[in-house]
Amino acid sequence: MGSPGYVPLILALSASCFRAAAQLPLVINTWPFKDATQRAWDTLHSGGLALDAVEKGCSQCEFEQCDGTVGYGGSPDEHGETTLDAMIMNGNTIEVGAVGNLRRIKSAISVARAVMEHSSHSLLVGESASIFAQNMGFLSEDLTSNTSLSIHAEWLSKKCQPNYWKNVFPSAKTSCGPYKRKEGQWSKRHRMPAHVVDVHNHDTIGMIVIDKSRSIVAGTSTNGATHKIPGRVGDSPIVGAGAYADSTAGAAAATGMGDIMMRFLPSYQAVEYMRLGMEPTTACQKVIARIQKYYPKFFGAIICANRTGGYGAACSKCPGFNQFHFMVHNPSGTSEQIVDCI
Ligand SMILES: *[C@@H]1O[C@H](CO)[C@@H](O)[C@H](O)[C@H]1NC(C)=O
Ligand SMILES: *[C@@H]1O[C@H](CO)[C@@H](O)[C@H](O)[C@H]1NC(C)=O
């Protein structure tokens, strides 16, 4: 029956459906890393598969050093060295290739793909991963830049502040290391220096591509947390944490405080929510809410895409971070999209 409220309701529904209309193919990535989005889209357009599109898209960021937080020459560790973490996951076969703490090789996501395609392993780390990469034909070169040198020099001049140590002697709040374990009474409370990984330190590209054949691939690439303790590997190369893809359900990719987020396997969880029929936006929000129960002030965001090309995102509100920007490209065009944090 034509009640007065009926027509406006339909209009409102179709408006929201139009906004997140499910269309394929789809490229979606964290942060306004536009060139990466375009490169992935162009790769699909010229006949590439989802796997190629994710590799090329993330490679673009590694090459451009997106915000200094992806690729060489950014986020030096305590020794001043830049090391890289990356992953790629094939949602058709549930194969994964990843590298953690990769040294002296610029193209981390391509090395991750080589781990997937030229070994039966899923994750290689550190110096040995670099040797693997060299054997696979990747060039070994210094990842240091003038920027990473100056970030490290400034950190040293500020008595190594901020840093990621706790319960050590001498106090990590006032001194550089080397540190020793502090015996006796100490606080068990979590200490995460908010200004180490924050909104100005975007930290990761996470990308999901669904191609015309409905193959879903997800990938990540990052140079990790600035001033990290050497050996630290974040969430990005950890399957289910940094990203996850299953062509029968969908994919997700996370960004933010990896040390916290990886404890919740947020990308895996989001995909499982979508498998149960949840809308991508709701799946993303539920994952963020779960982490907030334990870490109410954590900085992080996640993108979600279901198998028919519906997508969404969510982020955790914290000081200086109220909105999360991400990129979408589908047959309707390319756009930078914004979501309000919860
Ligand atoms: C770093 O700075 C030095 C001195 O200013 C300059 O000569 C050199 O070309 C710079 N290196 C890079 C990689 O930009
Ligand atoms: C995917 O998400 C879109 C947009 O939210 C929705 O319309 C569509 O029904 C979802 N597809 C599946 C298979 O759940």
Q: What is the pTM of this model?
A: 0.91
- Atom 14 in ligand 1: residue holding the nearest Cα: 146
Q: How far apart are CA 93 and CA 2, in angstroms?
A: 50
Q: How far apart are CA 23 and CA 93, in angstroms?
A: 23
pLDDT in tens, 101-116: 999 999 999 999 999 9
Task: Determine, yes or no, domain membership for 4.
Answer: no
Task: Determine, yes or no, domain membership for 287.
Answer: yes
Mean pLDDT, residues 41-45:
98
Q: How many CA atoms lie within 13 A of 65 on its CB side?
A: 13
pLDDT in tens, 2-42: 333 333 333 333 334 445 568 999 999 999 999 999 999 99
Sign of CA dihedral 224, 227, 230, 231: negative
Task: Determine, yes or no, domain membership for 227.
Answer: yes
278 is in an annotated binding site: no
Residues 6+ apart with CB under 8 A from 167: 181, 182, 186, 187
Task: Determine, yes or no, domain membership for 134.
Answer: yes
What is the number of the ligand 1 atom nearest to the C-alpha of 145? 13
CATH of the domain at 224: 3.60.20.30
214 is in an annotated binding site: no
Q: How far apart are CA 22 and CA 25, in angstroms?
A: 9
Residues within 6 Å of ligand 2 by CB: 20, 22, 277, 279-280, 306-308, 310
Task: Determine, yes or no, domain membership for 189.
Answer: no
196 is in an annotated binding site: no
**Rounded to a whole number, what is the distance in angstroms from the first to the last CA of the chain?**
38
Task: Determine, yes or no, domain membership for 190.
Answer: no
Domain that holds residue 310: 9-143+196-340
Number of domains in the chain: 1
- The catalytic residue positions are 204
Task: Determine, yes or no, domain membership for 228.
Answer: yes
Task: Determine, yes or no, domain membership for 167.
Answer: no
Q: How far apart are CA 33 and CA 209, in angstroms?
A: 15
pLDDT in tens, 64-114: 999 888 899 999 999 999 999 999 999 999 999 999 999 999 999 999 999
pLDDT in tens, 146-175: 999 999 999 999 999 999 999 999 999 999
Q: How far apart are CA 72 and CA 81, in angstroms?
A: 10
